[in-house]
Amino acid sequence: MLLNYHHECNDHAGSLDWIGRHEHYFNINGFRPDHFASPSGTRYMTVDGRAIAAIDIGSNTLKLTVARVSHGQITLIAGTAEVVRLCEGLGETGRLRDDRIQLAIDVLRGFKEIARELSAGTIIAVATAATRSAANGMDFLARVKDDVGLDVSVIDGDEEARLTSNGVLAQIDPGGAILIVDIGGASTELIATRDGVVLESTSLDLGSGVLTDRFVPSDPPLTLELDMVERETADRATEFLSRHGRFARLVLVGGVGEFLFSLLGKSGYAESSALDEARQIVLGLTADDLAPLIVAPVARARVLPAGFAIARAISRKSGAPQIESVGNGLRIGILLRVAASGVQEESPR
């Protein structure tokens, strides 16, 4: 492994709010800063021991992680998430909706307040597929700058996959052929690794939010609708997967994996058939019924059947017999890059 990973936590699987309930530790073993340099060469600075915050402006959910960097060790101390559905309607209009933008700004204002309450001297915010593909994505970020005082970097699919793979591989046994799958609201990142080395990655412009809007108008979903999601996913993923043969494990990053394990009462590893079981469950549940089972907002539960369908299609094509879940990939990758880039003083804004 590239990192030694240790955690002490009392996880409530499926919860979108874990402030004050976790402490995770990442020890860095001789990383060179250039391994995690940003495309622009930016070096993120913070006082050794001061908290730093990472914000992921995702297409379904906005997420905050606050950590402390001290003597090459990252300690995750707090985090929270809010479902915003920033990508809602994006596939039809090509634009972020005004009400989604306003909700995102309100959430980001709250995230900034939490970060400051926890004495975060640096806040790093990135935006992913919905923002980078929307015609008014830059207008949205300009409003975030003006209204919240946050500078947000839009990262492309390659950078998202790179940061996610770094974050995930720090938390798992990287041995063997592993397929890392990060299913967002508007994109899905596929990362093929072997023994901790990234072989290839790709970003597909399909996600649980946009495919729900496109294929799953019914609540509860219909079998035919989820079949269409799976066919679309399989068609788009086959070329990538066919270049890498059979995988030993599939690692689901983020909510889809967390909610899968929560719904089925599983932990650690699950057989690939778990996705068949989850499909049968969600076919009989409305979003209102599903939400309390996974301890998530109704808006998040509404797009989860499509997320399971994406995961099931990829799982079947990959041949992986086992599934593993990692809740936090991208933000851990961001924090690792910060820790590796040096620790010097930056004044809080």
Nearest alpha carbon to residue 227 among 317, 319, 309: 309
Residue 189 and residue 161 in contact, taking contact as beta carbons nearer than 8 Å: yes
Residue 202 and residue 244 in contact, taking contact as beta carbons nearer than 8 Å: no
Do 260 and 213 share a structural domain?
yes
Integer Cα distance of 341 and 323 in angstroms: 33
Do 183 and 139 share a structural domain?
no
Do 184 and 143 share a structural domain?
no
Integer Cα distance of 6 and 231 in angstroms: 39
Nearest alpha carbon to residue 282 among 297, 299, 304: 304
Residue corresponding to tokens 């300690």: 75
Q: Is 120 exposed, middle or buried (0-12, 13-18, 19+ CB in 10 A)?
A: buried
The range of the structural domain enclosing residue 65 comes to 3-158+330-341
pLDDT of residue 286 exceeding 80: yes
pTM exceeds 0.95, yes or no? no
Peptide bond into 321 cis (omega under 30): no
Do 334 and 309 share a structural domain?
no
Do 334 and 294 share a structural domain?
no
For the chain, the domain total comes to: 2
- The per-residue pLDDT for 73 is 73
pLDDT digits (tens, 9 = 90+) for 226-249: 999 999 999 999 999 999 999 999
Q: Is 349 within the bounds of a domain? A: no
Integer Cα distance of 164 and 180 in angstroms: 9
Question: Is residue 48 very low, low, confident or very high in pLDDT (cuts 50, 70, 90)?
Answer: low
pLDDT of residue 24 exceeding 90: no
Interval 254-259 mean pLDDT: 95
